[in-house]
Amino acid sequence: MDLPRNFKAFEAFLDKKHGLFSVSGFKTSSLAFFLSRFSLPKPILLIFPDDPSAREFVAAFSFFSSESVKFFPSPEHPPFAEVLPDPEEGAGRIEILYDLLLERPVLIATSVKGLLRRLPPRELLRKVYEYLIPGEDFPREGLLDKLVALGYERVGVVQRVGEFAVKGAVLDVWPPGYEKPLRFDFFGDTLEKIKTFSPENQLTEGKLEEAYLFPVREVFFVGEAEVLYERLLLRAEKFKIPAERVETLREQISLRRFLEPEEFWLPILFERTETLFDYLPEKSLLILYEPEKIQDEAGFWWGRVLSGGRRLRGRLLLEPEEAFLSPELLEHQTLKWPFKVLVRELPVSGTDIKANFKGLEAFEPVDSGKSGLERGLSLLKRILASGEHLVVALGSRPSAERLVEIFVREGLCEELPIKEAPFPEPNFRVPAEVIVGELPEGFFAPDLTLVFVSERELFGKKKPPVVKRRLRERTGLRFEDLKPGDYVVHREHGIGLYRGLVKLEVGDVPGEFLLVEYAGGDKLYLPVDRLGEIHRYVGVDERPPKLDRLGGRSFLARKEKVKKAVQEIAQELVALYAARKVARGHAFSPPDLTFREFEAAFPYEETPDQEAAIEEVLADMQSPRPMDRLLAGDVGYGKTEVALRATMLAVRDGKQVAVLVPTTVLAEQHYRTFSERLAPFGVKVAVLSRLRPPAEQKEVLKKLASGEVQVVIGTHRLLSTDVRFKDLGLLIIDEEHRFGVKQKERLKELKKTVDVLALSATPIPRTLQLSLLGVRDLSVIETPPPGRLPVKTVLAKMEPEVVEEAIRRELSRGGQVFFVYPRVKGLHALANWVKRLVPEARVALAHGQMPPKELEEIMTRFVRREIDVLVCTTIIESGLDIPSANTIIIARADRFGLSEIYQLRGRVGRGKVQAYAYLLVPSLSGLTEEARKRLKALMQFTDLGSGFRLALSDLKIRGAGNLLGVSQSGHIAAVGYDLYLEILEKAVREMKGERIEEAPEPEVNLGLPAYFPEAYVPDVEQRLHLYRELSLVRDEEELEAFRTSLIDRFGELPPEGENLIKLTRLKILLRKLRVLKLEARGKELVFHLGDEVERYKKGIRELSESYRFVRLVRENRLRIRVEDPLLSEATKIAEILQKTRF
């Protein structure tokens, strides 16, 4: 593509590698396009006034070019704030510093805030990193010490940057600069292999020929502690620091734990500091975007630095300029830089290039009166009519394919090629093309006859650039999170207390056992190969269950009672399903062009689960049988969009839709969402709830009866007898389990004649989903929407600066804030404090002791965005989905339980913008080790749906009951959730007429050491997880996969571990044979065959030919005398019996 003549001057300037060049008329996207057209001399540093502009540039440049471009993150917190550092933020900065030191070609975009903090000296960073290659010797102990010094944290399992784990001969580390963690296989001190592995399943993925171990963050501990103590004492004297404070700091140095703000340590850890400018080679190109704004922003941040310094006088050991770059120094650095470009947004005369880039208002005015996709399509038509070459950037392939379908159907063009970003040369042979990639903003380049349109212009929504974050897979309530003191359920003995994994010798044979304590102090030692017999106890509420007696009858009686109740439910379910099969309803017409346009107006990419759910719902509606489908998925996983597609299909067929929700607040929320999506397509949406004036309600009822209102959203008010529809075709019910008995009866009547879609935010376990096939039509959305960022969790001391910064950041982007406090007492004082901190914010109070109507009104005002900051107790409703509320501040986080904080944090981060959760505590250094660990764990499980595992328990419990539309809490409490599920699945399958054969769980006692030694798997939680996984293995293929993964993660198996694998293989065979028990008595093996002895006659005869002593004695016990080794002999015998049985 030929560049305009005036662009050529820039090419000449780049060749010169010296001087000043100025350009104007560029926004971030057009600047990225402009720069991508040249061969750039790297490295390049681009400075933007703020983080959003820098991030937008990175996204746009990645759209236009495949060259490496990175964002140099800025610290999220105010200067000198006591905040626990975020490893990913630190790792992002370190990675770029090493890119520069190792002379890698890279474009770096940063903000003023990112640039100001001083850095460790280059020569030190050059010295401290480790470069590892296979075949060389690295003293392992020395390497582990080095990792700790460089800021890595030792853990059981590596799941995030900055962690390492030691597992026998294997060392796992996740250093900055790597997409995946690394696994180092050692033989003694010799490094044999370097591999990458998945943080989700811990399995090896690829091989590397070399690896770099960089420090985790800029502040790290190297050198002699004595030197640091000396620097500390000198500075303490200079700044008149009290002796007890000096002692606290000295302790932090000796423990290598930096609890103070990171910048605080710079002059103690390093003799001198440098800036990002020092890391750049002399001839590097510097690009300043809006230079005047950069200086203004530097002045603003410097003001924050000085106020932080004043606040901490008597605690700080440095002058502010020792930690940060002053505006004067920044200006001096940029002025004297020999090779730079100044960029201004508005076209200014007198610049070297006055670019002719324009916004898209030239084609379609922003205030054209059209909304959403309607305006977007009008814009595209006008661009095509003008003869300009059109390039549409869409974030996903499905969106691109839908747009192509609309283009072709509307006759806008015959073909529309779809390509993946980065954007290649434009194909001028066709009038338009679609590129799948993220472009933050569109623009018009008249000189090039090119128009770029992004999703922002097409859908009227600004989608922020997606920053790549590492997502960990979703994990439910996991058995290995079992801690001593938790309740467990044994399928025979009932509810007990887990006391830990213990090592015991039984008859001189060492083994590992799970210790469970029962009523009266009775103890059960369960061998680790029998972990499948035990479940974690999950009840219905926080109340602790009553312990059972070991060997007592009460648990078995309770189990029988639950079985009976569950069978009745299963019977009713199956009968209902059979009746519905023969019923007849309205068969809706297939989707038309307007429906396809409505689909295309969805500004996000559907997840595979969401797509499947939409297809299932639309297929149900087009069949003559009335739909009764349950759609389950976490809050914010996209259930509403599925409901909207169903609504649109119904409305296109002239039918009305009723959306029933449990609370007025949810009614308001859904009203906003449905109106936003449906109004541009001429659909009339109304809301009916007690918060609306009686006159308005009367008007809505009249319009419903006449058919003027097509979609109505309301609480149980919709079920009143005075509500009449002209032609109701679809009923959508949100959280059905929250309605009362009377309302459910009325729903049953309605369900007979119209299509019904029920929505539930409760996860439904996979096994239950399978057993309900053919009983309840079920769609499940388990994958979070793409591009959604994990909530950024900040652990900090409760300081005015931190709170003010958090609130102002949210308000500046048009958002809202939840401010949660554990008690009603003190809530008013907190609200007043917030008002003083941020006077312009609209602050309101909400707590459970308010009259229900008043509370409802406040929550509704919050949904309507009439309140900026909601200061409240933990009453924030779980179903509430407020995309504009993206910051939650939790005061006294140390007083909340983990699951509570996890649930609260889940209230934010529903949209595509970065959400924040601030966990505030009185002091970081004053936290107990336990509280610190707990809150740090929360910072680790930041990802959407990482389901901080304990918190999902109450959701899972609700799931089973809700699914059946009945309360099952009493029965769940009696036997625990997992066992209840097992009973329920079995009952449903029996009612469906399936044959269920339950294989007995064989008990094997061969007197062999069979466990994973501590030296092989040092982490207790990991061992528990492996034992549990092994106990669930049911065939040899699974067992082989387990063994391979074990060796991959921990190295070659020790003899005890090998025995455990072989024992599991033997148990797989014994289960198939329905053997109840196998024990060794000296040189004799005794198989307890149960009632099926006839099937083994042939096998026993064959065994008699191989073994001298084979006897079948009373109680169907088969005795065989064997030679050692017992385990392989027992396996051989089981294989013969398996082969010969009929």
Please state the separation of Cα 445 from the chain's center in Å: 39
Q: Is the pLDDT of residue 958 over 50?
A: no
| pLDDT tens-digit series, residues 312-355 | 888 888 999 999 999 999 999 999 999 999 999 887 777 888 87
Going from the C-alpha of 857 to that of each of 110, 708, 866, 888, the distances in angstroms are 43, 28, 11, 21
Please state the rounded mean pLDDT for residues 151-167: 90
Locus of tokens 């080095």: 146
Domain final position from 184, 213, 242:
213
Cβ pair 653, 588 in contact under 8 A? yes
Domain final position from 336, 354, 372:
354
Which pLDDT belongs to residue 99? 95
Please state the separation of Cα 670 from the chain's center in Å: 24
Neighbours of 609 (CB within 10 A): 18
* Phi/psi at 526 (5° precision): -100, 120
| pLDDT tens-digit series, residues 892-929 | 988 887 667 777 887 887 766 788 999 999 887 777 76
Least confident of 356-360, 954-958, 1006-1010: 954-958
Separation CA 479–CA 501 (nearest Å): 13
Which pLDDT belongs to residue 860? 86
Are 773 and 673 found together in one domain? yes
Are 81 and 180 found together in one domain? no
Domain final position from 213, 232, 252:
213
For residue 1033, what is the enclosing H or E element?
none
Least confident of 117-126, 194-203, 479-488, 1049-1058: 479-488
Neighbours of 204 (CB within 10 A): 17
Are 512 and 415 found together in one domain? no
The answer as to whether 516 is a domain residue is yes
Q: How confident is the model at residue 844 (pLDDT cuts 50, 70, 90)?
A: very high
Separation CA 74–CA 47 (nearest Å): 12
| pLDDT tens-digit series, residues 353-387 | 887 777 777 676 655 555 566 777 788 888 888 88
Look at the alpha carbons of 1055, 1060, 1061, 1063 in this order and tell me if their dihedral is positive or negative: positive
| pLDDT tens-digit series, residues 376-435 | 778 888 888 888 999 999 888 888 888 888 888 777 777 788 999 998 788 888 889 999
* Domains identified in the chain, total number: 6
Q: Is the pLDDT of residue 164 over 90?
A: yes
CATH code of residue 403: 3.40.50.11140
More confident residue, 351 or 515: 515
For residue 537, what is the enclosing H or E element?
none
Q: If you average pLDDT over each of 575-579, 636-640, 950-954, 1100-1104, which comes out highest?
A: 1100-1104
3-state helix, strand, coil in the chain (%, to 5): 45, 20, 40
Owning domain of residue 491: 479-552+999-1044
Across the beta sheet with 69-72, the strand order is: 69-72, 107-111, 44-48, 285-289, 339-344, 19-24, 353-354
Nearest Cα to Cα of residue 1022 among 1005, 1045, 1041, 1054 = 1045
* DSSP label of 494: E
Are 306 and 393 found together in one domain? no
Are 596 and 743 found together in one domain? yes
Are 393 and 350 found together in one domain? no
Which pLDDT belongs to residue 923? 83
Which pLDDT belongs to residue 469? 41
Which pLDDT belongs to residue 339? 95
Which pLDDT belongs to residue 516? 95
Q: What angle do CA 585, 591, 594 make, to 5 degrees?
A: 130
Please state the rounded mean pLDDT for residues 795-811: 90
The answer as to whether 292 is a domain residue is yes
Which pLDDT belongs to residue 467? 45
Report the DSSP pairing between strands 1117-1121 and 1084-1088: antiparallel
**Residues across the chain:** 1142
What tokens were used for 648?
């649109």
The answer as to whether 35 is a domain residue is yes
Q: Is the pLDDT of residue 962 over 80?
A: no
Q: Is the pLDDT of residue 946 over 50?
A: no
Using DSSP's 3-state secondary structure scheme, residue 212 falls into strand
Using DSSP's 3-state secondary structure scheme, residue 1138 falls into helix
| pLDDT tens-digit series, residues 55-114 | 999 999 999 999 999 999 998 788 888 887 777 888 999 999 999 999 999 999 999 999
* DSSP label of 1115: T
Q: Is the pLDDT of residue 836 over 60?
A: yes
Q: How confident is the model at residue 959 (pLDDT cuts 50, 70, 90)?
A: very low
More confident residue, 481 or 811: 811
Are 135 and 85 found together in one domain? no
CATH code of residue 308: 3.40.50.11180
The answer as to whether 572 is a domain residue is no
What are the DSSP calls for 173-190, one per residue? E--TT-SS-EEEEEETTE
Separation CA 759–CA 746 (nearest Å): 18
Are 327 and 396 found together in one domain? no
Are 822 and 922 found together in one domain? yes
Nearest Cα to Cα of residue 445 among 466, 423, 420, 416 = 423
Report the DSSP pairing between strands 685-688 and 211-213: unpaired
More confident residue, 930 or 122: 122
Are 737 and 649 found together in one domain? yes
Using N-to-C axis directions, what is the helix angle for 977-991 and 554-582, rounded to 10°? Answer: 40
| pLDDT tens-digit series, residues 667-726 | 888 998 999 899 988 999 999 987 788 899 999 999 999 999 999 999 888 888 888 999
Are 646 and 747 found together in one domain? yes
CATH code of residue 708: 3.40.50.300
What tokens were used for 1124?
């050692």
Q: What angle do CA 275, 279, 283 make, to 5 degrees?
A: 120
The answer as to whether 221 is a domain residue is no
Separation CA 239–CA 233 (nearest Å): 10
Nearest Cα to Cα of residue 100 among 277, 334, 289, 337 = 277
Which pLDDT belongs to residue 792? 85
CATH code of residue 520: 2.40.10.170
Locus of tokens 């990419």: 605
The answer as to whether 375 is a domain residue is yes
The answer as to whether 393 is a domain residue is yes
Are 350 and 395 found together in one domain? no
What tokens were used for 393?
């950037």
The answer as to whether 715 is a domain residue is yes
Report the DSSP pairing between strands 389-394 and 432-436: parallel
Q: What is the mean pLDDT of the chain?
A: 85
* DSSP label of 636: T
Q: Who contacts 249 (Cβ-Cβ below 8 Å, separation ≥6)?
A: 232, 236, 260, 317
Q: Is the pLDDT of residue 154 over 60?
A: yes
Report the DSSP pairing between strands 916-921 and 792-797: parallel
Cβ pair 220, 214 in contact under 8 A? no
Cβ pair 889, 897 in contact under 8 A? no
Nearest Cα to Cα of residue 800 among 836, 769, 756, 843 = 836
